[in-house]
Structure 1
Amino acid sequence: MDKTSAAAGGNGRVVTGGRPENIRNVVLVGHSGAGKTTLVEALALTTGAVNRAGRVEDGTSLSDYDEIEHRQHRSVQLSVVPINWAGIKINLVDTPGYADFVGELRAGLRAADAALFVVSAAEGAEAISGATRALWEECAAVGMPRAIVITHLDTARAEFDEMTETCRAVLGNGSSENILPLHLPVYGPRSPDGHRPATGLVELLPHCVVDYSTGECTQIEPSAEQVTALEEARDRLIEGIIAESEDESLMERYLGGEEIDLGTLVTDLERAVARGSFHPVLFGAQAPEGAKQGLGTVELLELITGGFPTPAEHAVAAVTTTDDTATRPLYCDPDGALAAEVIRTASDPYVGKVSLVRVFSGTLRADDTVHVCGRGQEDRGHENHDVDERIGAVTAPFGKQQRPLGKAIAGDIAYVTKLTCAETGDTLSGTSAPLRIEPWPMPDPLLPIAVAAHSKADEDKLSSGLARLVAEDPAIRLEQNGDTHQIVLWCLGEAHRDVALERLRTRFGVQVDVVDHKVALRETFAGKATARGRHVKQSGGHGQYAVCEIEVEPLPGGSGVEFVDKVVGGVVPRQFIPSVEKGVRAQALRGVAAGYPLVDVRITLFDGKAHSVDSSDAAFQTAGALALREASTVAGVALLEPLDEVWVVVSDDYVGPVLTDLSSRRGRVLGTEPHGPGRTRIHAEVPELELSRYAIDLRSLSHGTGDFSRTYARHEQMPQSLAAAVRGRTAVRT
């Protein structure tokens, strides 16, 4: 193929794809700073979608055009860049690399049929440890085809061969022969600062060198010093391809000395890549001065179009009817039943809500009426909904531009407008036979951020602003805490928090203040006590008279508040006994020492006095509350704090530091166990007060390799020193 003219249909014009066979959906995965967005722009340059400055026709940048991304200096949301190569439409799904935005990454995995793992040679093994390795294994579990692109080869100490072997060791568990390079870089002279620019590449299967040193793409024969490295790498590649071939006689023929036809090798390579059993390694480098494309981009485009599966070859997510009574198969057929999924939701100041949609089956047309189904996210603040809505325009994303499509066929990705109820993760289907696609797994947000409206004007807009925020970002969990009466946004990390708060301010016009997150403490009696509550007031006219005597004793955890009537002889009239109970329960809810609800006590009413005229319901309620407060001063009050059951999964290298850190948080380690290769699962109980920043601290402590989950276990008595500090900060509510 002519490496400078293969972009048929280029010049920035994105074709519709025509049929699913002419579409490729590829997600770019990698750590922050690996060069995913730069690679997308390099591929767009090669296809003619952008100019040398990385700009589209209107002069804007193709990617990272979001204002928040510019201020954050990082990608914070998924973006799709459609390009065209040799008549094939390629939807490049660029995902954030920072761990806080893994929700966007998982949406990208759902939208794609193959993955490019972008790895920076400048960072070595750190680039593919932790989250990247876990994601590789996750893709392997579902059979998603994968290839590796190594970037930043021009930096000091960056070596392609070493990075390839590192990928094989980490991602292939050290013994894999199916992670092999398709080409090798050719370097120019090293500069005084240690940088060594790539000037070309050695293509292993065609046995040639592609040189870009003059700015033009020139195919030349390998030099004598290149031949040895070429032959060794080529033999290893051929053996790896043949090992994955469906032709069982091919290995025998090769070992017998037969020269295998290049066309056969390429065909078997592409089939193995599409099956997800072979993972080629390529590299991407910036274009030399004057060159029309970056190094390795043509080879990568040829791999995508020839080796990655079409949407028709990739399994479609299972669907059920909206009432969950039946499951039905789906096929990537433009003429089939409509089934599409919202993979991202955004707000446009001119057209309102815009939904990025992956169509799995059927055809989505402008002005169609579709059924919108969203289920299973109630715990994150998303109400279930099943509604019919009419969509507006169907467009192709292209930087800030929206290019009209008219329709999106099965296998394609497009924007649709005017779906006011649609949220990220919702299913779009036909109104006559509504369907539901099971949403992709979302990480559990474990960093609590308590917020309050900055002003009265913000308070009026807060509810709608929060609803729009969680509709756009399902990784956020919205909690209206009934115990602490706080609004809490549960986020994945500090960067996620900052983006959420900025979106509230800039997109939805709501200014909020971050306040201290409160933990739902409880109070209980430290021992048994008796006390009298006496409420007697005479100020002219109708007086108030009530006396009650109670005994209070602590109960086991989880018992709540029990009220027992042991009054004899009618000293407290029967009609006022419920009044005493109402008074002590109201006081228990307000607390008796530090303003936290009183729990796990038995309150026994055994004596009292009444007046035939001045006793009343209100008087006995007050007397009951006074008696409970008086009893607390006699017996003393203990503060109870919530205890969480915690499971931490971490690389074996960091088990020691994590255990030490848990101990410093007053945690009790209950056990450890292996959790897959090189990882350990730690089971512990930790006070909730010590976990407010654990999502951030664990990431730092484990160098990004650790994650954890937590569930409420019970309330336990707080150490006296901490309880005294809490009482010192809290005014008693009476």
Structure 2
Amino acid sequence: MGDKQHTHPGAAGRALAADRPTSVRNVALVGHSGAGKTTLVEALALTAGAVNRAGRVEDGGTVSDYDDIEHRQHRSVQLSLVPVEWDGIKVNLLDTPGYADFVGELRAGLRAADAALFVVSASDGVDGATRMLWEECAAVGMPRAIVITHLEAARSDFEEMTRICAEAFGADDPDAVLPLYLPLRGPEGADGHAPVTGLVGLLSRKLYDYSTGERKESEPGADRLPDLDAARDRLIEGIIAESEDETLMDRYLGGERVDVKTLVQDLERAVARGSFFPVLAAAPAAEGARQGLGTIELLELVTGGFPTPFEHPLPRVAAVGGEPRELKPCDTEGPLVAEVVKTASDPYVGRVSLVRVFSGTLRPDLTVHVSGHGLADRGHEDHDVDEKVGALSMPFGKQQRPVPHAVAGDLVCVAKLSRAETGDTLSAKDDPLLMEPWRMPDPLLPLAIEAHSKADEDKLSQGLARLVAEDPTMRLEQNQDTHQVVLWCLGEAHADVALERLRSRYGVQVDVVPHRVSLRETFAAKAGGRGRHVKQSGGHGQYAICEIEVEPLPGGSGIEFVDKVVGGAVPRQFIPSVEKGVRAQAARGVAAGYPLIDVRVTLVDGKAHSVDSSDAAFQTAGALALREAAADARIHLLEPVAEVGVLVGDEYVGAVMSDLSGRRGRVLGTEQVGSGRTLIRAEVPEFEIGRYAVDLRSLSHGTARFDRAYARHEPMPPQVAERVREQAGGSA
């Protein structure tokens, strides 16, 4: 790599449509927030001719312009596609958010990609979240390369960052993480920092000078050869170690010279199968320059070393009924199978779906079957409908440029799929298929909202439906116990973006209110009550008297009703009425207004009137009896307890366990999970973990994750219960 002559007519002003899968590369750029992914995408687009020297497309925006929220928050909050062309290859650059709250967009980008480019800042290094993401990619065998940015920063050190990357990413084989180029630094400035002006190709043994704004090739001077050759020898040994030719290492160690063409071919094969991870350097072009440092080398690696869609394992596919289907990877003539990897709303064309085509060819005006994705618990209904595909297009800044088709392996934007949501499968209407969905993170931060005004209330449900259609990492809950509308998000930034989109995109203003936990009540000891409902006011009166005994039951028992009336004191036809009244009052609560559970109510006696007794009267008497029993009894407030599993690095185990104890949690045990990680299992009251998604991220520097599941309700400590009663305006 580094010695090719390139012809690239540029993509500015025209849409790119691939005619065969071999001419497509799908690459996700990943890394922590602020590493420079979006800047790098724009630099690659400039070098490839997709934008002009000012970094603008024809509409005046940058090539990655899409969401106004991103400009206001100065960070990427969603996946964006930037297609460029290099040496006849269409490269779909998928710019993913680096902030942890938008990991759903990142995973969508990985689903659509065939390789990942890890962007690492020389000034910030490799954080724990980036290490976890590397492991996630390794688990699915995704090919990866590393690009180091921000080399212009003072005290930046490419060699040191390469060593850090080898330690962080090359745990099994540090010699599989090696640089292909070394930075060429110019004279030191007044601050003592020598800027990077070019690169030295280790395989080509050429200098590539970018100081003029365009790459110029030359031979290295004799003074550079010793350092160059030492790094070159290590790179060659790393490449040969991954070679499919098992005799090559012995021949090389025996003194045989391996030609560069063979090395490049072995390198490209090792990168494509995910066993070698080259390190490169890149920087944006200076003002007025045409090429950013390292961008040509990156495009060479992507087009030559990253795999074609043919080499991407097809996600599992089944008929809608569940029968598995075996499909050829990337068969342009095969049955249509495509997946919606992102859904967005455009103010002019409506809903726009970013689709990855895995099999067949997608064309405009085709009627397809939309198969739903099994996220009904998050407010995303399952789909099983036919829809007509609208126009196909490629994004360029805020423009959508039409394309005639999308072959297997390519990505395309589809208009007017009004029912399809992120994660849905598109297939032929006469052969409906369903792809196995990718794993979505669970949203664990609750955001309770109310419409700001009556006008907002009228638009709220539609706005929320459109919001969750775009974002499958968000869960919409209509809590029947607390009567709150709750958006479950991944973190505070995720919640902020949701509120901003409701306001600016859907015209809905909402107020955030405190999130309420679903509490319960129960009797602490046995008690009795008498309900007397007697009224005489002319005509038919109302007459019903009943006596009950209430006793607590074990957790999970619900409400038991037992009839022990003897002698017909309460006529048989009115006993169900008493039970109905008791259960209705239990649902309303007897102390602080929370549902009563886990008690046995026994009807022991009562009185009736031959004329004035009625179903309604005995319902009222039953409710009064339960209230009277509660008035003289000690009532426990029950809070929900969650079973929590926290996966955390060993260095944070002590801090996490201490924090859980401070939340009234009970640690049930720990177990080692892989190398350097521990799974902590605990039971914690839900009152104490409303913001745990935010607090745990801070505590573990973004490296821990947790899950939660309802375990049971159990009595609150008296001091906590008293505080809750005061807030609810109740009394015990």
Q: Please report the TM-score for the alignment, with normalisation by the length of structure 1.
A: 0.97
The residue that corresponds to 1:383 in the other structure is 381
Deviation, 1:375, is 2.7
Matched, 1:70 2:71: yes
1:607-655 deviations in Å (ceiling 9; x for gaps): 1222233322222222211111111122210000000000000111111
Match of 2:586 in 1: 588
Q: Distance in 2 between matches of 1:109 and 1:375?
A: 18
Letter in structure 2 aligned against 1:464? Q
| Equivalence map 1:456-605=2 (5 Å) | 456-605=454-603
Matched residue, 1:403: 401
Question: CA 1:640–1:574 in structure 2 vs 1: closer, same or farther (change >3 Å)?
Answer: same
Residue 29 of structure 1 is matched in structure 2 by 30
Quote the Cα distance in structure 1 between the aligned partners of 2:536 and 2:316.
Answer: 75
Equivalent AA in structure 1 for residue 311 of structure 2: E
Residues 210 and 291 in structure 2, CA contact (< 8 A), matched pair in contact too = no
Q: CA deviation at 1:14?
A: 4.2
Residues 281-680 of structure 1 correspond to what in structure 2 (within 5 A)?
281-288=279-286, 290-680=288-678
Q: Partner of 1:177: helix, strand, or coil?
A: helix
Which amino acid is 1:172 matched to? G
Q: Deviations over 1:77-124 (max 9, x none)?
A: 111000011111100010000000011111101111111000111012
Determine if contact 2:25/2:303 at 8 Å carries over to the other structure. Answer: yes
* Structure 2 counterparts to residues 47-446 of structure 1, below 5 A: 47-124=48-125, 127=126, 129-173=127-171, 175-193=173-191, 195-288=193-286, 290-446=288-444
Cα displacement (A) at 1:367:
0.8
Stretch moving more, 237-246 or 191-200: 191-200
| Higher deviation after alignment, 322-331 or 82-91 | 322-331
81-90 or 192-201: bigger deviation: 192-201
C-alpha separation in 1, matches of 2:730 and 2:588 = 9
Give distance in 1, aligned partners of 2:296 and 2:678.
42
Specify the SS of the correspondent of 1:593.
coil
| Residue 288 of structure 1, CA deviation | 4.2
- 1:2 positional shift: 7.5
Q: Secondary structure at the match of 1:110?
A: helix
- Name 1:703's counterpart in structure 2: 701
Tell me the distance in 1 between the aligned counterparts of 2:187 and 2:675. 41
Q: Within 2, Cα distance between the matches of 1:74 and 1:567? A: 70
Note closer, same or farther for the CA distance 1:648–1:50 as it changes in structure 2 (3 Å cut).
same
CA distance in 1, matches of 2:731, 2:82: 58
Q: Is the 8 A contact 1:453 1:512 kept in 2?
A: yes
Q: Secondary structure at the match of 2:632?
A: helix
**AA aligned opposite 2:100:** A
State the alpha-carbon separation in 2 of the partners of residues 70 and 289 from structure 1: 21
* Aligned AA (1:204): L
> Any idea what SS the aligned residue of 1:269 has?
helix
Displacement of 1:254: 0.7
Contact 2:330-2:408 at 8 Å conserved across structures? yes
| Secondary structure of 2:503's aligned partner | helix
Secondary structure at 1:354's aligned position in 2? Answer: strand
Partner Cα separation in structure 2 for residue 527 and residue 729 of structure 1: 25
User: Counterpart in 2 of 1:688?
Assistant: 686
- 1:41 paired to 2:42: yes
Give the C-alpha shift of residue 192 in structure 1: 4.2
Provide the secondary structure at the position in 1 that maps to 2:566: coil
Structure 1 position 287, deviation (Å): 2.5
Shift in alpha-carbon separation, 1:4–1:493, aligned structure 2, 3 A:
farther
CA distance in 2, matches of 1:190, 1:483: 67
How far apart are residue 12 of structure 1 and its match? 5.0
In the alignment, the residues of structure 2 paired with residue 259 and residue 96 of structure 1 have an alpha-carbon distance, to the nearest angstrom, of 44
Distance in 1 between residues matched to 2:205 and 2:4, nearest whole Å: 16
- Quote the RMSD (CA, aligned, Å): 1.7
CA distance in 2, matches of 1:107, 1:663: 36
Contact 2:341 2:354 in 1 (8 A): yes
Distance in 2, matches of 1:441 and 1:626, equals: 51
Provide the secondary structure at the position in 1 that maps to 2:669.
strand
The residue type paired with residue 122 of structure 2 is: A
3-state SS of the aligned residue for 2:431?
coil
| Equivalent residue letter for 1:244 | E
Residue 47 of structure 2 contacts residue 296 of structure 2 at CA under 8 Å; is this kept in 1? Answer: yes
Q: Give SS of 1:38's match.
A: helix
Contact 2:371 2:385 in 1 (8 A): yes
1:289: Cα distance to partner? 5.4
Paired amino acid for 2:281: F
- Contact 2:144-2:271 at 8 Å conserved across structures: yes
How far apart in 2 are the matches of 1:583 and 1:10? 73
Residues 730, 15 of structure 1: alpha-carbon distance in 2 compared, 3 angstrom cutoff: closer
Separation of aligned partners in 2, 1:672 and 1:686: 15
Range with greater deviation from structure 2 (348-357 or 76-85): 348-357
Distance in 2, Cα, partners of 1:34 & 1:494: 21
Would you say the 8 A contact 1:560–1:600 is kept in 2? yes
Amino acid at match of 1:78: L
Match of 1:715 in 2: 713
Any idea what SS the aligned residue of 1:635 has?
Answer: coil
**Structure 2 CA distance for aligned equivalents of residues 401 and 39 of structure 1:** 20
Q: Could you tell which deviates more after superposition, 606-615 or 464-473?
A: 606-615
Q: What 5-or-longer segments of structure 2 have no aligned partner?
A: none
1:309 aligned counterpart, secondary structure: coil
97-106 vs 369-378, greater mean Cα deviation: 369-378
The 10-residue stretch of structure 1 (637-646 or 156-165) with the greater mean CA deviation from structure 2: 156-165
Query: For residues 722 and 307 of structure 2, what CA distance do their matches in structure 1 show?
Result: 64
User: How far 1:385 moved relative to its partner?
Assistant: 1.3
Structure 2 distance, partners of 1:9, 1:153, is 27
Please give the alpha-carbon distance, in whole angstroms, between the structure 2 residues aligned to 1:609 and 1:374.
58
**1:425, distance to aligned residue in structure 2 (A):** 0.7
**3-state DSSP of counterpart to 2:175:** coil
How far the C-alpha of 1:572 sits from its partner, in A, is: 1.8
